[in-house]
Chains A and B, each alone.
Chain A
């Protein structure tokens, strides 16, 4: 708890502090808080985008939304995408971090190569993968056919369940470097004596991983999983650009429906209701994460 403000100097400092935070607060209010509140307000109206004609409908947008199967389908798709890509990111991320933690040749080059997908634009990632996935001239179909794994070219993005699997895979490829870097940083701080003790006790490499490494990684993994779950849940670019939600809305996640409602179907009010519902679900994760961070800071 901050001490009660007393001396004139402290009061002057408090004023300076407020002055320094003022631009942040102003910008936050103008571009985040105000839009956030108006999104909630807007969700109580029926708005036709091109003319912006609107009429008050109360909660009927929400009633309509929850009664329609589309919402639950989209939520289900979002959960499958999030769970699938998150699991892959974590598993691949830990695996790759363990490899990069070893003394391999050209380690810094290896780290750069692994890190790169995370920083490139989603547009670039999608263009490259669309070309790799191309059904006629794509390299992936060619390699798989030459390797005798498949006989016929696969349609990666135009049929189910391939489209969902492909999106999940590309998502994992793009975002697993985040896990690698975070885990790698933590690995480097695990005290070596822990491993020596385990070795003396006769633990093999696998036992050492489960008995020493994993418990030490626990805290950082919880944070990574929560952050990535939030980010994957709200992912728009990657899925929209790869499949556009297709084939026939089978990869349509909540953010994509919001976008389509607002800017393709021209139903701004309904779109706002979708967005607010989506945020309500996300809020559960966000609160858990924020609570945890707060506990850590005060501890």
Chain B
């Protein structure tokens, strides 16, 4: 009886200790971002802020370029996601449902590029975009981001597409719909959850990208959040940790929203492409 009660308690205590240890750095980020400057360097440090303040957030939004970076990131990730998901949906439909020569090789080309390291592409891409006069623009980043986002989205969409039963499409066509009509009326609605999770993954991937942004953009007008915030660390004389933690929290806001409302789509994406491979 005792053992039956104690077992779960021990398990839970152990489990939650580990989980909280893993989550601790994120908790610490939140705590640091709302501590007043005077409390930040106190020894011993306070685990929960004695007094709360949002001055760092205010400072971040009013006196730094953060909002410009944020806007750039939103635009960049949205455009990349729309472009990539549209192209990938059509491409995946073609790869899964049509028969033509070279289809198999194309599918494995996608997988190959999905695994390709960015540093190999970045040198020629840099030269290419500079010679086209596109450096320091958001558009150059959209182009660069498709190099990793498109293979990724295609690979994911391909396995979602394979999960939509053939019969539906044929049934619609027997009823007189054209092939594309059947695609729009029958397949797209079935595919919607897959499209949403692909879009989320693509968006997060673009939102978090750092290397291309570092190389291709060197002006504050076109800098996205990743390099922008990192610049705040490098360029400041004495590092304002509260400000940086506030920036980190703000930068994670879209992610927190996704986690709160759309988490099932994220795990679905995992199951589909990322792992089954």
Contact = CB atoms under 8 A, between A and B. Distances in A.
Contacts of B233: 127, 130
B29 interface: yes
A81 B165 CA distance: 43
A39 B121 contact: yes
Nearest to A31: B147
Contacts of A262: 122-123, 126
A272 B124 CA distance: 9
Interface string B1-19: 0000000100110111011
B11 A104 contact: yes
Q: Is the interface of A mostly helix, strand, loop or mixed?
A: helix
A36 B277 CA distance: 23
A110 B12 CA distance: 11
Contacts of B23: 113-114, 116
B44 A146 contact: yes
A114 B122 CA distance: 32
Given A35-B124, A139-B28, A121 B259 contact: no
A276 B211 contact: no
B98 A28 contact: no
Contacts of A131: 28-29, 32, 241, 244-245
Contacts of A16: 98, 179-180
A149 interface: no
Contacts of A13: 98-99, 179
Contacts of B115: 230, 282, 286, 289-290
Interface string B196-230: 00000000100110110001000000000110011
A25 interface: yes
| B-side interface size class | 35 or more
Interface centre among B15, B26, B225, B233 (most CB of A within 10 A): B15
A39 B18 contact: no
A26 B247 CA distance: 38
B29 A128 contact: yes
Nearest to B121: A35
Interface centre among B41, B99, B255 (most CB of A within 10 A): B99
Contacts of B90: 20-21, 23-24
Given A104-B12, A121-B252, A123-B226, A27 B179 contact: no
Nearest to B259: A112
A17 B117 contact: no
B245 A24 contact: no
B100 A279 contact: no
A18 to B, nearest CB: 6
Interface in B112-129: 112-113, 115-128
A241 B41 CA distance: 24
Contacts of A3: 99
A91 interface: no
Interface centre among A2, A121, A224 (most CB of B within 10 A): A121
A224 to B, nearest CB: 7
A182 B273 CA distance: 11
Contacts of B85: none
A63 to B, nearest CB: 20
B139 interface: no
B52 interface: no
Contact of B99 (A17, A182, A227, A289): A17
Contact of A278 (B94, B119, B121, B229): B119
A131 B243 CA distance: 12
A207 interface: no
Contact of A223 (B93, B210, B277): B277
A152 B247 CA distance: 31
Contacts of A124: 29, 248, 251-252
Contacts of A272: 123-124
A34 B229 CA distance: 32
15 contacts: A5-B100, A21-B94, A24-B94, A24-B154, A27-B150, A42-B124, A104-B15, A124-B252, A132-B28, A173-B25, A185-B267, A233-B117, A236-B118, A236-B210, A271-B123
Interface of A: 2-3, 5, 10, 13-14, 16-18, 20-21, 23-25, 27-28, 31-32, 34-36, 38-39, 42, 52, 96, 99-100, 102-105, 110, 112-117, 119-125, 127-132, 134, 137, 139, 142, 146, 173, 178, 181-182, 185, 220, 223-224, 227, 230, 233-234, 236-237, 241, 255, 258-259, 262-263, 268, 271-272, 275-276, 278-279, 282, 286, 289-290, 293-294, 296
Given A32-B113, A185-B267, 16 more contacts: A17-B97, A24-B90, A31-B143, A31-B147, A38-B124, A99-B11, A104-B12, A110-B15, A124-B251, A125-B25, A127-B29, A131-B32, A139-B28, A181-B270, A255-B119, A276-B120
